[in-house]
Amino acid sequence: MTDVANPVPPPDFIAFEGPRCLARGPLAYVALQVKAATEARPLARFMVFKALSSEIIDFDHRGSADEVLARLALAHPHVDAPAAATDASTDDSAVPRSGPGRPKMGVVAREVTLLPRHWAWLASQPGGASVALRKLVEQARKYSHVHDQRRLSQEASYRFMSAMAGSLDGFEEAARALFVADRPRFEALIAPWPTDIQAHLQELAQTALMPADATSTSELPHA
């Protein structure tokens, strides 16, 4: 269930003027900061990113502030509003219950096809096949989530590196260190880079640089 007192925060954006971080926050705020900076320094190079994914955001900063915000609202209608509450249908506890009997946990009965040896192993587990299957699924979800987050961190870091540091010394070597999670080498290679680029990249790459064996398939039980 979504905590109404603690809504999901709006997406975070970050703008760079050359190698310097110009602004960070909601898109409307960042866009107006970029607009003011481009008017003051029309020859400067500006780039705006989604802070977590490093997706590049382009927008038209011509006209008044109201005109800029109006165009942003059309292109990104929900970007500065708190994310919608999670659909109750995705919450296990919200699955409709069909009757007064089992299950109280909102479980859904569906067909599962397994080999005889799998059924035999499940039947031997504490709580029986249903409990064992639920435990297996939860452990697999946790394992998959960790690796998905690691991949997304790698992709966001590399996307930002390519845009902001692709021409800097050590870029190729730093990219290789990123994808093999060699934190000491990665940090040494980006150390000479501009401070703001380095700081944001280190934030993006925290999950990507976790040791590869931080989560192992050995955590999953074997049938």
Residues 173-205 have pLDDT tens digits of 999 999 999 999 999 999 999 999 999 999 999
Please check whether residue 80 lies inside any domain of the structure: no
Of the three residues 75, 97, 114, the one that is the final residue of a domain is: 75
State pTM to two decimals: 0.66
Q: Which amino acid is at 87?
A: D
Q: What is the percent of the chain where pLDDT is above 90?
A: 52
207 domain residue, yes or no: yes
Could you tell me the pLDDT band of residue 121, with boundaries at 50, 70 and 90? Answer: confident
Neighbours of 156 (CB within 10 A): 23
Q: What is the DSSP letter of 35?
A: H
Q: Across-strand partners of 14?
A: 24, 49
| Domain interval for residue 20 | 13-75
Instruction: Report yes or no on 90 lying in a domain.
Output: no
Domain boundary among 75, 100, 119: 75
What percentage of the chain has pLDDT greater than the value 70?
A: 74
Distance CA 21, CA 15 (A): 6
CA 199, CA 185: separation in Å to the nearest integer? 16
Domain count, the chain: 2
User: What pLDDT shows up at residue 221?
Assistant: 44
Amino acid at residue number 9: P
Do 139 and 70 lie in one domain? The reply is no
Q: Work out the average pLDDT over 20-45.
A: 95
51 part of a folded domain: yes
Distances (CA, A) of 121 to 118, 140, 167, 220: 5, 18, 56, 14
75, 98, 117 — which closes off a domain? 75
> What pLDDT score was predicted for residue 100?
52
Residue 52 lies in a domain: yes
168: CB partners within 8 A, 6+ apart = 193
**Residue 54 placed within a domain:** yes
Q: In the predicted model, is pLDDT for residue 165 greater than 50?
A: yes
185 assigned to some structural domain: yes
pLDDT in tens, 81-112: 433 333 444 444 444 455 555 555 566 777 77
Rounded CA-CA distance 119/129 in Å is 7
Classify residue 186: in a domain, yes or no: yes
pLDDT tens digits for range 152-161 = 999 999 999 9
